[in-house]
Amino acid sequence: MSTKQNAQQYKQSYTFYPKQTSLVAGSFLSFDSQNNLRHKMSELHPTAQANTYVTVILPMAVPKPYTYAVPEEWVSKVQVGVRVEVQFGPKRQYAALVLDVLTEAPGHKTKAILSIIDDTPIIWAEQLRFWQWVGQYYCCTLGEVMHAALPANLKLASETTITLSPLFDGDIMDLEDKEYLIAEALTIQHELTLEQVRDILGIKTIYPLIRDMLDKRIIYLKEDLKEKFKAKTVACVRLREPYVSHPENLQDAFDKLSRATRQVEALMAYLQLARGQEFVRRDELYKMAKVDASVISAMEKKEILEVYEREVSRIGGYEDEIVEADALSEQQVRSIAEIQGHFEEKNVVLLQGVTGSGKTRVYIELIREAMKRGEQILYLLPEIALTTQIIDRLKRVFGDQVDVYHSRLNNNERVEIWNRTKEGKALILGARSALFLPFRNLKLVIVDEEHDPSFKQQDPNPRYQGRDAAIYLAQLFGAKVLLGTATPSIESFYNTQVGKYGLVSMTERFGGLELPEVEIVDLKKAQKAGTMQSHFTVDLINAMRGTLEKGEQVILFQNRRGYAPIYKCSTCNWTCECIHCDVSLTYHKGQNNLKCHYCGYQTQLPKECPACGSKQLIVQGFGTEKIEDELKIFMPDAKIGRMDLDTVRSKNAHAKIINDFEEGRLNVLVGTQMVTKGLDFEKVGLVGILSADQLLQFPDFRAGERAFQLMLQVAGRAGRKHKRGKVIIQVQNVANPVIKEVLNNDFRAFYAREIMERQEFFYPPFYRLIRITLKHKKPEVINAAAQKYGNFLRSKLGDRLRGPAVPYVGRVRSYFLIDFLIKLERNPKLIGVTKDLIAEAEHFLLNEEGYSSIKIAVDVDPM
Ligand code: ADP
Ligand code: ZN
Ligand code: ZN
């Protein structure tokens, strides 16, 4: 597409949030006369002056795009979607993205761009339109969207810090002059900001050079932690000398082994494997020769074979055998046909399949068909569910045709996947940020675990919902969307009921397995009877013992990490709170300290109560750490693992715990909601939920929905590929209707009750919510500002505005918070007007004396 066409295409469709245009009386006249004047001038005197301009997006929260002039020499190279180097403010440079190419001068003075960074656009028209939508829908600036969308390597700025790349394996002497200067400076100084690079080279424009050096992997961004560069290796086996150079000597080797038949077999297997391929993986040899590590190590001792680590690319480069996908079950065949049928008329289909029904196999089939047609596919998952399990399953079938885009990649790898997507990579598996990849022929989007709240970005802007944004993105491409889950969100299910989405159900587990049996245990009764053993009922303890005796595994779910959420004085009731936030500190026994789960603040345990001096300090409540701790007493022989934020912090820890559990090195896994996501364990006989009340009492209109989803999801881990599993739910409030619905695995009953409540109390999906949070470090300032701000909005919105109100946690990281909630009828015009109004209100407040330092966060569709 030509530059001009591009420019045309972009011109009209964009309006910016917040809208900046205003029609001033008389402007029409002045515009007209100016235009005439310019027209005449160009007729008479063609000059060398610039007559091409670009509007660009800067990667930050500035309210609108900026215009720069394009010097003549670059006019032929500038196009929508490339990055240009620009100066912004007195001393700062940025890589900005060209949004539009103009041939008319803006009515004001402009700076010229410093360089054009890219030869070809880094994103397509669809992505720009997507950015635009995200900005408008979620009330943030295009710059913030750009910031979220681009991998860091594509977002250069003055303060960007570079270092020498550990991957650079060339000779620094071979570099070009400027590259050499930078590389040399980096060997001495280790790291440089782009500002310093500019000074060293003494030139004005450096970004094209930096881009080149990043592409060639001479340098990398400092923000890439070292560990993200650790090479991935696989163990391989090869012959030793003299057998490599003199294969005729192999007979000697066979003689040496003659009495060890298994070693002979291994050697024969090795030779056979080595004939067909460059490398022989140790695992392959194990498999083919049916031998284990002891056989190979014996052959190492005899100096015939050696094991070595061979480096492989961390992304792609799949080396295992590709296998045929399993034959489809009847239910899967029917579901696929139904999905395809719905896709004839509808863009979105919800696949509601019980845990273990084999949804993944259905996805695989649809992906395969899309691939055959040469289409691109995006498979979205909540980040934490992006475990090796699902990755392996897809790679086994699709090999190198799949790339995985997630937060554990370094920036080079991100750019690699970015470019491959642009070139048409078939299948991308990723978390929500993968929505921003430069697809060009996206035709199918799968959103797995569509109900999961972690699809929503909470902070910072753009606060987007990955599932909802996926549906918009798909629409841009004319792509179909498949939402999959065992426990649909109320919104998605509602859309099937009003005919907007298709609905396909899979009610049977694969292989005819039964769904687990659920038992509710009344905590109140047990407490009254005095039969509790700490936080365990006799029923749970007995069931656990029975399960372990049968050689099966147990999962225990407690949605709180740490040892105990409250540390208090039993004499005067003083509780230990965070100094920055209005929450009590959680006691962590392993580290013997108190921690804030909101800001990370840590402190030592007080020796005595600071209020009354008493030494009777006690803990209250319980988290995963305490459960793990006490289990060790009740079940001294069980091997217990724990999976929560505290134990998966280090790289690969998450994968290791899952692996240990999968391979039976752990009998019991205690965890937070991490254990509910995307795991397929084969020997789990029992799942225990220690306190369902905690889930039900959450102060949010979605508490019931979340509780229902969490309980059914964690229950779904029981009895897979095995036999009927069991679930025990401990709860005080047995009468809560959600408990009964979980007991009966009755989504319909749950939905019917919940949807009525939503309607009655003006909640989604009937009403749209926008939450606005004001933050400031001084309570008196925030209170007064909230009044003013609230009055401004209320004068226009009336009762649709709720608040001001102090949220559940009223102070976080030393900022005092005030919330407003806007409830809107689902009327697009009203919603549009309200968003404009919110922008106006912000403008109004920040321009009031004394309030310019208030922070305002707008959250559309808060979760
Ligand atoms: P879901 O995602 O719906 O919870 P999975 O896709 O994880 O279910 O499938 C559950 C189990 O059934 C997995 O172990 C999977 O390998 C197995 N399975 C599903 N479909 C088939 C099939 N057609 N052939 C063989 N095994 C299958
Ligand atoms: Zn006290
Ligand atoms: Zn805190």
Shared-domain flag, residues 552 and 668: yes
Mean pLDDT of 55-65: 89
Q: Are 71 and 86 in contact (CB under 8 A)?
A: no
User: Which of the listed residues 98, 125, 154 is the one where a domain comes to its end?
Assistant: 154
The verdict on residue 717 lying in a domain is yes
Burial class (CB in 10 A: 0-12, 13-18, 19+), 627: buried
Q: Are 776 and 853 in contact (CB under 8 A)?
A: yes
- Whether 360 lines ligand 1, by a CB cut-off of 6 Å, is yes
Q: Which helix or strand (DSSP H or E) is residue 397 part of?
A: helix 388-398
What does each C-alpha distance from 39 to 11, 42, 348, 411 come to in angstroms?
21, 5, 51, 48
The verdict on residue 298 lying in a domain is yes
What does each C-alpha distance from 612 to 570, 586, 608 come to in angstroms?
10, 21, 8
pLDDT of residue 630: 94
Burial class (CB in 10 A: 0-12, 13-18, 19+), 282: middle
pLDDT of residue 565: 93
Each residue's pLDDT tens digit, 738-763: 999 999 999 999 999 999 999 999 99
First to last CA, the chain: 40
The verdict on residue 432 lying in a domain is yes
Q: What percent of the chain has a predicted confidence (pLDDT) above 70? A: 91
pTM of the model: 0.85
Shared-domain flag, residues 388 and 461: yes
- pLDDT at 25 > cutoff 50: no
Mean pLDDT of 393-414: 88
809 CA distance to ligand 2 middle (Å): 23
Shared-domain flag, residues 458 and 444: yes
- Whether 487 lines ligand 1, by a CB cut-off of 6 Å, is no
Shared-domain flag, residues 382 and 502: yes
Shared-domain flag, residues 664 and 647: yes
Ligand closest to 449 (CA) is: 1
Shared-domain flag, residues 539 and 657: yes
- pLDDT at 36 > cutoff 70: no
The verdict on residue 321 lying in a domain is no
- pLDDT at 279 > cutoff 50: yes
Each residue's pLDDT tens digit, 187-217: 888 899 999 999 999 888 899 999 999 888 8
The verdict on residue 324 lying in a domain is no
Q: What is the DSSP string of 767-785?
A: EEEEEEEEEES-HHHHHHH
- Whether 682 lines ligand 1, by a CB cut-off of 6 Å, is no
The verdict on residue 507 lying in a domain is yes
- Whether 547 lines ligand 1, by a CB cut-off of 6 Å, is no
pLDDT of residue 43: 44
Each residue's pLDDT tens digit, 667-678: 999 999 888 875
The verdict on residue 692 lying in a domain is yes
Residues with CB under 5 Å of ion ligand 2 are: 569, 571-572, 574, 609, 611-612, 614
Q: Are 465 and 395 in contact (CB under 8 A)?
A: no
- pLDDT at 345 > cutoff 80: yes
568 CA distance to ligand 2 middle (Å): 8
Shared-domain flag, residues 345 and 444: yes
Shared-domain flag, residues 412 and 348: yes
pLDDT grade, residue 164 (50/70/90)? confident
Q: Which of 99, 102, 96, 106 is nearest to 154 (CA)?
A: 96
Q: What is the DSSP string of 721-786?
A: TSS--EEEEEES-TT-HHHHHHHTT-HHHHHHHHHHHHHHTT-TTTEEEEEEEEEES-HHHHHHHH
Among 4-18, 161-175, 191-205, 811-825, the least confident range: 4-18
pLDDT of residue 89: 85
Residue type, 323: V
Mean pLDDT of 97-101: 95
User: Which of the listed residues 279, 311, 343 is the one where a domain comes to its end?
Assistant: 311
Question: How far is it between the farthest Cα atoms of the chain?
Answer: 103
pLDDT of residue 49: 57
pLDDT grade, residue 7 (50/70/90)? very low
Cα-Cα-Cα-Cα dihedral sign, residues 774, 780, 783, 784? negative
- Whether 353 lines ligand 1, by a CB cut-off of 6 Å, is yes
Mean pLDDT of 423-435: 95
pLDDT of residue 24: 30
Q: Which of 841, 851, 835, 801 is nearest to 821 (CA)?
A: 801
Shared-domain flag, residues 669 and 745: yes
The verdict on residue 325 lying in a domain is no
Range of the domain at 424: 330-512
Q: Which helix or strand (DSSP H or E) is residue 88 part of?
A: strand 83-88
Q: Is 205 left (phi over 0), alpha (psi -120 to 50) or beta?
A: beta
Q: What is the DSSP string of 571-613?
A: TT--B-B-SSSSSBPEEETTTTEEE-TTT--EEPPPSS-TTT-
pLDDT of residue 824: 95
- Whether 326 lines ligand 1, by a CB cut-off of 6 Å, is yes
723-742: string of b/e by CB count within 10 Å (b at 16+)? eebbbbbbbbebebebbebb
Shared-domain flag, residues 470 and 581: no
pLDDT of residue 333: 97
Q: What is the DSSP string of 317-351?
A: ---SPP-PPPPPPHHHHHHHHHHHHHHTT-SEEEE
- Whether 553 lines ligand 1, by a CB cut-off of 6 Å, is no
Mean pLDDT, the chain, whole residue set: 88
- Please identify, by atom number, the ligand 1 atom nearest to the C-alpha of residue 359: 3
- pLDDT at 147 > cutoff 50: yes
Each residue's pLDDT tens digit, 677-736: 757 777 899 999 999 998 998 878 999 999 999 999 988 888 756 578 899 999 999 999
| DSSP bridge partners of 422 | none
pLDDT of residue 494: 98
For residue 263 the two structure tokens come to: 């070693």
Each residue's pLDDT tens digit, 648-664: 887 678 888 988 888 88
Shared-domain flag, residues 363 and 285: no
Residue 338 CA to chain centroid, in angstroms?
Answer: 30
pLDDT of residue 597: 93
pLDDT of residue 225: 55
Ligand closest to 582 (CA) is: 3
- Give the total number of structural domains in the chain: 7
- Whether 484 lines ligand 1, by a CB cut-off of 6 Å, is no
Residue type, 518: V
Polymer length of the chain: 863
* Alpha carbons 178 and 677: distance in angstroms, whole number: 50
* Alpha carbons 180 and 521: distance in angstroms, whole number: 71
Shared-domain flag, residues 482 and 340: yes
- pLDDT at 28 > cutoff 50: no
Residue 259 CA to chain centroid, in angstroms?
Answer: 55
User: Which of the listed residues 99, 132, 154 is the one where a domain comes to its end?
Assistant: 154
- pLDDT at 383 > cutoff 90: no
609 CA distance to ligand 2 middle (Å): 5
